[in-house]
Amino acid sequence: MSDFPALSSEQFQILISKEEAGTRLDHFLSKKFTYHSRTVWQKEINEGRITISGKKVKSGILLKEGETIVYQPVGRKEPPVRKDYEILYEDEFFVAVNKPGDLPVHPAGKYRKGNLLTLLKGSGRFENLFTVHRLDRETSGVVLFAKDSETASILSGFFSSGKVQKYYITKVYGDFPRRKIAYGVLKPDFSSKIRKKKKFFSLKFNFLKRNKRFVFENSSETVERERCLTYFKKIEFDFLNRNFEAQDANSNSGSRNARIEDEESQGQGNRERKSEVYSFVLCKPITGRMHQIRAVLYGLGFPVLGDKLYGRDEEVFLEFIEGKNPDLTARLGMERQALHSYAIRFNHPITNQKMKIVASFPGDFR
């Protein structure tokens, strides 16, 4: 499980699975719920706010399958979130939403009410909604929610089996090449102070050409070694200007209906500000590994602006989880990671009609 489901307005619980058994309690909490550091979780445990099967415990206890962790936090205000989401498409089976940055997709950790799913349900517009996939809290763009469990199952299967083409736009430091195909593996980055950080190791493209079927179909890679394939293309200035001008004119359709093919033309999508060169890049991940786009770009030498984990200064991440207030714009270039889920293509889960849903370019990328 990835978050503490609410028991009441003040308590949360999680059931330990077979895969999670054998892990130290403080390691488990700090790895799963990164809004607190390991030190903070140890303090919560020592002060008795975390129990296992009704008993107070120590930080070093090893978890067992079937045990229930209960967390009763001190009353804290939820962090503020953006609520300016936009409905991009809706029919009787599912709804597509343009999620702003700094808004979780579903309830998790300290975001019990401040999340997109809760906001949509609270709007009175939907009787029921089911999560199909997710984006990171700081990532903006297209998110799908199903209106029934059967559609949710079909759409989730589309995502896990690679039947959804996903396109992201990001803003990176450096003069990105016109085109780039990145094939390799993601492994734990043991050189980093951050345990969950991954490192990209490039593999020869000849292997990919000889083993395409293996790359696309093999999803049983171990946690330590994950093969990944991503296509990158620098975005032209004209495309960016059209989107920003459409926003300034409050156009209802101009930026939403921009076609993916526009970005495929040649261009020089990099800018320079205060001696910093940066580029806008279209990303098409073929595999779906955690942190894939951000980790690969970092490994290629083009860190994403605003990225605390894979940005230019990982000390920002460590300061952030300790509750300090680093100047994100000064040190990372943006207040949030510059990653936007720009478009998805798939066949309708019921009618089989070809679908393309596009989310307008985010204004904070300017």
| Domain boundaries for CATH 3.30.2350.10 within the chain | 169-209+220-243+276-358
| Domain boundaries for CATH 3.10.290.10 within the chain | 12-71
Q: What confidence score (pLDDT) does residue 246 get?
A: 59
Distance from C-alpha of 333 to C-alpha of 311, rounded to nearest angstrom: 9
Helices 38-46 & 25-32, crossing angle to 10 degrees? 130
Q: What confidence score (pLDDT) does residue 252 get?
A: 45
Asked whether 17 and 63 are in contact (CB, 8 A), the reply is: no
CATH 3.40.50.1370 fits 12-71, yes or no: no
| Domain boundaries for CATH 3.30.70.580 within the chain | 86-161
pTM for the structure as a whole: 0.72
**CATH code at 169-209+220-243+276-358:** 3.30.2350.10
Query: DSSP states of 302-336 as a string?
Result: -PBTT-TTTSS-THHHHHHHTT----HHHHHSSSS
Q: Taking 60 as the threshold, does the pLDDT of residue 157 lie above it?
A: yes
Distance from C-alpha of 80 to C-alpha of 182, rounded to nearest angstrom: 37
Average pLDDT over residues 133-150: 94
Burial class for 96, CB neighbours closer than 10 Å (0-12, 13-18, 19+): buried
Per residue in 30-56, pLDDT (tens digit) is 887 766 778 888 988 998 889 998 889
Backbone angles phi, psi at 252, to 5 degrees: -85, -20
Q: What residues does 271 pair with on adjacent strands? A: 278
Half-sphere exposure of 46 (CA within 13 A, CB side): 6
Q: Tell me, what DSSP letter sits at residue 132?
A: -
Residues of the chain with pLDDT > 70, as a percent, come to 79
What class, spelled out in words, does domain 86-161 have in CATH? Answer: alpha beta
pLDDT category at 239 given cuts 50, 70, 90 is low
Distance from C-alpha of 153 to C-alpha of 350, rounded to nearest angstrom: 12
Per residue in 170-220, pLDDT (tens digit) is 999 999 999 999 999 999 998 888 888 999 999 886 655 555 555 445 444
Distance from C-alpha of 193 to C-alpha of 241, rounded to nearest angstrom: 39
54: left (phi over 0), alpha (psi -120 to 50) or beta: left
Per residue in 305-333, pLDDT (tens digit) is 999 999 999 899 988 888 788 899 999 99
Burial class for 139, CB neighbours closer than 10 Å (0-12, 13-18, 19+): buried
pLDDT category at 66 given cuts 50, 70, 90 is confident
